Amino acid sequence: MNNYSPKLLWLNNSGLGCLLNLLLLAILLVSLGLGWVVNGFLILLGVILITPVIGLWILRWWVQRNLVEDHCPVCSYEFTGFNGVETRCPSCGEALEVENGKFKRVTPPGTIDVDVVDVSVKQFDDPD
């Protein structure tokens, strides 16, 4: 009398297909060579390590090129700002823009911006 049922035999052989697939994959990789896998991994590792260094270098170059340090034309407070960005003076709150590496007051269209000049007055005595 046979003590093994067909269902029990089927369950014991269920891992055989997975094992054959892994064996075929291993034979395929060995026949093609594993050098491309190692080279691909090393290239990926190099890109992961070098990309942040290059990114930080580019960011540093951009900041040095676009950062402007100057005095406010209204209150003479020294602070920094970026080219092409409208900013406000932290001391007096005046709206400023960067022009030719210097801060300049932002004036609405139609407004005439005038610089104040201090003129000294000399008194003359009247001879009467």
Write the pLDDT tens digit of every residue in 13-63: 566 677 888 888 888 777 777 777 778 888 999 999 999 999 999 999 999
pTM, two decimal places: 0.47
- 7 confidence band (pLDDT: 50, 70, 90): low
**CB-CB contact of 89 with 75 (8 Å):** yes
Q: Phi, psi (5° rounding) for residue 35?
A: -60, -35
